[in-house]
Structure 1
């Protein structure tokens, strides 16, 4: 079985990822692992929406997506952001291929709530045959979270959800969320390891809040099929030469938690 690692790069961190980060992803591949990168692009989408004077709003953390917003999101995610990440991986010595969830029905979705959210979908199927084929050819897939339904309609997909669905479908060894923080913080310190029950408790007591909530929810949703989930800082933390990564590891069963 392949040692697959799905790496989700948040839009807020993409512009700040260092050359060392991309080299470390390539090193992960050389160490025998199979990285797959899923990316967001929220800040860049916001910039273009403002430039085009297209209104945008969020409902429960998800971007309400009209036809105009969807078209803008596709331009940013599938064009500018995706191809820049492909280029960065290749400059670091890897072989990358850029895809969206629409390519070969890579990410089939169903609408979450069209009346409230418009063209926002949640993944229901992943084309694992395509991804396995690319991995066997030593390519690093870079995936933009735009999905497609059975009628050919395109949908905006939350990148955390897309990464979780892909990791689950491939039974990945690890799902990594690259953010702008070191991991899950408690009293100012980064937790090295936590378990699912502790995550739920920290959401309730407010230790975990804001943009970290959808990440830990995606983590919990994939733990049945993925060995562990990690949250790491993409600006300051890189993958080590042996393929290991520093950050907060979330596991199913209890392990000693370091504070």
Structure 2
């Protein structure tokens, strides 16, 4: 059974309809594919940091993470948000197991850059643990906190964590957002790019069509391609039919593809 990693952006979590979770459960139960959810939680983390007056800054789109920030990030991601998604799946008739990259050393991490503090990157994924969960009929719900061999925990960008898991499992990767894909405006009209290659993406970033939080999503999608996965896609989770259409091979969202696979 094919595996699909679904990365849920923090901004879309409150907007996802019940039908989205029912779609995930149906895909699993009908053995169409095995879903895995990796989630962020930027807005809720910011809210919690503000509530406890913990200072936090961003460098190149990544949250600089001190020990104090890490405690809040882990509490929000691995605690309230992770279990909220688990509850949504189970209310929709499925079985979900919530865990972080710390559990079972699921995400073995190392620091990205000393200037970012405890911001990590994934060095390896415990795929045996995920396979065990699959065989028990579960949908894994993963928060992107990693751990190294010394027991130090790291805050990992959720897009990057989802990409690493997809690479390790040779899975498809879908970034679930609250927008239908990469949108560009021309002459007062907006349109969604159905597919993009690396040169096109680089051009869109340079022209500032792709900005902000879309940059790590696109870069993660490219990293998956470079590791040998065929494609990644950015989908609108508020339209669950987009996920179904994508899995069925129909046009949905923005695919990020190898240059040789491009066609107009």
TM bracket (short chain): over 0.9
Cα deviations by residue, 1:27-58 (Å, 9 ceiling, x for unpaired) = 22224201100000111111111111111111
SS in structure 2 at match of 1:240: helix
Deviates more, 1:244-253 or 1:103-112: 244-253
Name the residue aligned to 1:56: 56
- Quick check: 1:12 aligned with 2:11? yes
Pairwise CA RMSD: 1.5
Name the residue aligned to 1:96: 96
Name the residue aligned to 2:202: 200
Structure 2 Cα separation of the partners of residues 206 and 237 of structure 1: 29
User: Where do 4+ consecutive residues of structure 1 move more than 6 Å?
Assistant: none
User: TM-score normalised to the size of structure 1?
Assistant: 0.93
Q: How many residues align?
A: 254
Displacement, 1:186? 2.1
User: TM-score normalised to the size of structure 2?
Assistant: 0.92
Structure 1 Cα separation of the partners of residues 27 and 154 of structure 2: 31
Structure 2 Cα separation of the partners of residues 182 and 235 of structure 1: 9
Contact 1:39–1:145 under 8 Å retained in 2: yes
Pick aligned residue for 2:256 from 229, 239, 250: 250
State the structure with bigger RCO (CA 8 A, min sep 6), 1 or 2: 1
Show structure 1 runs of 5+ residues with no match.
none
SS in structure 2 at match of 1:88: helix
Name the residue aligned to 2:184: 186
Name the residue aligned to 1:234: 237
Show structure 2 runs of 5+ residues with no match.
none
Displacement, 1:255? 3.0
- Quick check: 1:81 aligned with 2:81? yes
Name the residue aligned to 1:209: 211
